[in-house]
Amino acid sequence: MSECPTCERDDFVSETGMKRHHTMAHGESLVDDSPACDCGATPSKDASGRYREQCDDCIHAASAATETTPDERAAFERRLAARFEEGEQ
């Protein structure tokens, strides 16, 4: 069940239906105004005033996930070396 944020009508079967109602009844589209991140949060705007594709939390989590610590890097290289030695036998 979705509720219209403007008139508080809440008998819409889906959020898409509610947004369609908002566009028709209130003359303002909810779709383009505030895109939702995959996690449901609203992304912040960048320097040019456009919404980012992901919220700050997800952008931060994604960049943190690609960073590896020296320990992880060393473990990865050990595994790689072990696999290489196995292949030679």
N- to C-terminal Cα separation, the chain: 62
Nearest to Zn ion of 6, 44 (CB atom): 6
Return the number of other C-beta atoms located less than 10 Å from residue 64's C-beta: 8
Smallest distance, Zn ion to C-beta of residue 83, A? 36
Smallest distance, Zn ion to C-beta of residue 13, A? 15
Per the listing, tokens 């912040």 go with: 44
CA atoms within 13 A on the CB side of 20: 6
Nearest to Zn ion of 17, 82 (CB atom): 17
Binding footprint of Zn ion on the chain (CB under 5 A) = 4, 6-7, 25, 37, 39, 41, 55, 58
Nearest to Zn ion of 42, 68 (CB atom): 42
60 backbone dihedrals φ, ψ, rounded to 5°: -65, -45
Smallest distance, Zn ion to C-beta of residue 59, A? 8
